[in-house]
Every structure is written in C-alpha cells, then in structure tokens.
Amino acid sequence: MSVCLQLLLRSVPGLLGPHYKRFFCGYAEPAYIKERKMQVLVELVNDENVAMILDELKGYCTDVNTDTAQAAISAIGRIGRSYSDRCLQILTGLLGLKQDHITSAVVQTMRDLVWVCPQCSDTVCLALDGCEETLQDIQGRQALLWLLGVYGERISTAPYTLEVFIDRVRSEASLGIKMELLTATMRLFLCRPAETQDMLGRLLHYCIEEETDMCVRDQALLYYRLLHCGIEKTREVLQGRRSDPSLGVLIGRPAKPVSQWARCFNTLEPLSQGAVEAESDSRGSPEHVTYNPKPNADLSDTLSCSHIEEVDSGSDSAMRCSDSSTNVLASSIAAPLSLSLSPAVSPEDFEHLWLQRQALHTERGAEKIEEVDCAWIEECVRCPAVLHCSPQSLQAAMQLVNIQTLAFTPQHMLPWRVYLYTHTQRSHSMDAPNTTLILGELLCTGEANQKSGVKKCTADSEAGAEGKEDQLVRKEMDATADRLRVSEDGQEEEEGIKVILNQQPKDDDALRQFLTILITVLNTLSSEKD
C-alpha cells in the first residue's frame, strides 16, 4: 500500500501533508513497514512540519534494529537537501554516540549530502574528526576516504588518517577500500604534497609490486605513469572542473499523470516493475518536493506537445523559430514527436556529457560538430519575466511536456542558468533516428541590465539641474532603458534568454520541434508572470 501512496504523492505532491502524523512509526511495527513510512514522511516535509518530522526521525536513529536506524539517518539526509542546517545538526550529534552502524550511516549520508549541496562541506569537514576510530564496515570507510580525498585540504587530520589506512593496506581484504584509498591519497597529494609524498610512494610501491589483484595494480600503474606526465597534467585529470557551486539540484522527480499508473493502483505491479523504488542512495539523486502546483487548464493546453502554436517572441532568432513552426507541424504529422523522461539522466552524467560536447563544439566549431552525429543549436528568446519565476513553478511547467529540469540558479542571481534534458521519440520515421537525447541550458547573463544601470546612474547625476517636468520625462526614458538594450547596428532589442541545445544522434526536425515546445513553455510562463 505504501508503494501506491508514493505513486499518488508523486502525481499530487502535498496531498497528505496535513496528515503526516499518521505515518509516524509504531514501536511494534515490522522494520520494512517503518522504512516505508519513513519514505513517505520524506515526501511530506514542508516548512510547517519539518521540525516535527525531523524530531520523530531522530528518535528512530537509535532503534535496536540497525536497518531501521540506518534508514532513518538516510531519510534525514534526504531532507537535508532542503533543510541542511537542521539536518546537519542532528547528524553531527549522532556521531557522538560512537556506534559503528550509526557512524557508518552518518558518514555515508554526509558524503551524499555534500555531493548534492557543496555548501554543507564546511560543517561536514569539522564533524569528521575522529570518526575513523569507530568505522568498521566497508561502505562507511569508503565514504570517509572519498571525503578525505575531495575535502582533505580543509581537514587538518586528513594525512594522518590516510596514513593509518596505508599502514594497514597489507591486511585490507576489500578491493574497494584499496582503490578508494589510491584515489584519495593522490588527490590529497595534489593539495598537500609535503605531508603526503612519502605515504603515497609507499602505497604505490605496494600496489604495483605486491598487490595480486589486477584492478588495484592497474589503477596504481595509471597514477604512477600519470605522475610522470607532470603535476599539472595529474591535477587536470584528478581535479577536473566540478559543478558550479551556485547551482542547486532540483529536489523533485517528474510528476506522473494519474492515467499512467491508475491501472496498477492498489496492486503489486509497481513492486515487480520497480517503478517506485525506494529513495536511491546514489549521489546526487533528486528528492521529492511538497510543492503543490495550482491546476491551470490553459497552461496544459498551451504546452501540449500535439498542438504546437507559433510563438511571437519578438527577437529575430525567435521569429525564425516561429516561422519554421509550420514546417515543424508538417513534419510532425509524418513522424509524430513525443517527449520522454526515460531513461533518467543523473546530474553527474548530465555534467559529463554536457562538458564533453561543449568542448567538442568549441574545438571543432558548429559546422564540424555534425560529423560526429551531434547537433548544437543556440537561440535567443525574449521572455525576461521567466527569471522571476520560482524553480518549482518552472519545473512544474516543464514536466507538463516531459522536460526534466536538473539544476537551477537561485532566484534573482546573475548569471541565471537552468539545465534540462529530455528524450525525443518519433514513430514512422524512415530517415531519422527513433529516439534522441537532448541536453539544454537556459542562460541569462544580465549584461543589458548592468549597462542600463550605468546609464541610469549617469542620468541621475545630471537630473539635479532639471525641472520637475524634465525629470518625469527622464524617468520614463530610464524605465524604457531597463527593458531595452541597443545593439551594435542601432536596433533596440529586449534582453532575452539564450537557449543552448545539444542533441545526439542528430535529428534536425525533432530538435526544431522540441525548441518550439520549449519556447512555448517559456513564453507562457513569462506572460503569466507579467
């Protein structure tokens, strides 16, 4: 029954919010019932009940059943992606209990939390001191090693903790620990070479000369040869570009329409299909939101994939897209296009693919990128009001047409970015691939506003000698300047949002249809905001 509840909550978030206390666990309930209830509680968290739910989950963390305790800690970590300060305070307090299974679960939860919320790293680094003495299981020690490698520069005892692991490497039975230890020591060497050089040499010597497992030996040889290429090359490989710290992962899974799961409601089918698997413990996995979008029939009709209308965006590039909408509709009749969120793309996979293809586009140019069966397109859409929409509203609108929003820049922050993806599916298409993956970025740098702001300051300084009538006229001109920017050729244009799309394999018709749908979403949101 809890599986069906999760299906219901993912279609109508916040439906059972006022009744969250009914999902508190009873003392005599089986462990699997408690775990299911905690999964539902995570989905019901909001600003009003977060304190009560966290207090209840904190009590489960010391349950005599270790599985229940670890599930409660994991649930607190998932809530921490929205309420990090409160949850980190609870997790840090649990480390003081010095119990193996609790410490292991807390360290793993902290690792997953800082992966999604890098702003929590300072608190996590302070809390890790001394916890290696309690850790015994493999998963907990691997999580600790990962944290020491990534944030070792800010953890004063990181080299000495790693040295304890290195001294015991001969008696270490876990291959995962050895491989994580190699990577952590290499990363720490790059930021603290004086303290790590000797122990790194001993570790590489053992793994290359004495280790019998070929995976560990090959990884050690890779690092050894990489060091021969130079420190800068090693740093480039091991400490490549990370996610933009100003970006946050959207905490919400795609909301499924009731029609997609109504037939299997109150049955065991979701269990066999794994459609509503328990919250994943993998890094960066999104969490559910309790945002309850207001029903809007007009928005749903406007954003329907099967009824694409021309978009009057005003800019030249957007007008080109509008002019081509007739061709898009004609091609969609021959080969209907539908958007899908399956298979899902994780934030780390998206980042890897995006940076890889962006580098390819930069090196080869827009003309030569087509040689690798990959399309890259950039358009400008005039809808500045979208910048003031909340991330939840933007996500809800995108999900109406099966576009998943992965990451966003906080409201009113410039440059403003949103990353999204979808899969296009076309039937009855003879000369084009049936499915493609589209990655997208919405970008607004705010340069026009900055320029108009400079002009306004200059105008204010000159307005002192003017009369009241002249000042009123100048204020009207300043208001117009806020909305317009002057291009090099003298034409006036309103600042727009740059849409960057990457598609693989290449399908021009599908890409154009998707761009039309996306522009329709943005203009609909912009008109509603106005």
Report the alpha-carbon distance of residue 491 to residue 379 in Å, rounded.
18
What share of the chain in percent tops pLDDT 70? 65
**Residue that has been written with the tokens 């004086």 in this structure:** 194
Answer yes or no: are the C-beta atoms of 69 and 60 closer than 8 Å. Answer: yes
pTM: 0.53
CB neighbour list of residue 410: distance below 8 Å, 6 or more residues apart:
246, 248
The Cα–Cα gap between 380 and 431 comes to 29
Q: Which residues pair with 436 in a beta bridge?
A: 424
Q: What's the rounded Cα separation, in Å, for the pair 449 and 415?
A: 11
At residue 350 the predicted structure's pLDDT band, cuts being 50, 70 and 90, is confident
Question: How far is CA 94 from each of CA 80, 81, 111, 431, rounded to the nearest angstrom?
Answer: 15, 18, 15, 59
Q: Check pLDDT > 50 for residue 12.
A: yes
Bigger pLDDT: 208 vs 435: 208
Dihedral of CA 37/43/49/52: which sign?
positive
Q: Distance (Å, rounded) from C-alpha 279 to C-alpha 287?
A: 8
> What is the maximum span of the chain, computed from C-alpha positions, in angstroms?
88
Amino acid at 252: G
Average pLDDT over residues 10-16: 69
Angle, alpha carbons 17-23-26 (nearest 5°):
160
Query: Given phi > 0 = left and psi -120 to 50 = alpha, else beta, which region is 446?
Result: left
Phi first, then psi, for residue 202 (nearest 5°) are -65, -40
Dihedral sign (CA 102, 243, 45, 6): negative
Question: SS3 for 425?
Answer: strand
pLDDT of 436 above 80: yes
Q: Which residue has the higher pLDDT, 152 or 371?
A: 152
Joined together, the tokens standing for residue 279 give 């919250």
Name the pLDDT band for 471 (thresholds 50, 70, 90): low
pLDDT at residue 14, as a whole number: 67
pLDDT digits (tens, 9 = 90+) for 225-238: 999 999 988 988 88
Give the whole-angstrom CA distance, residue 315 versus residue 521.
16
Q: What is the pLDDT of residues 85-124, one digit of tens each?
A: 899 999 999 999 889 999 999 999 999 998 888 888 889 9
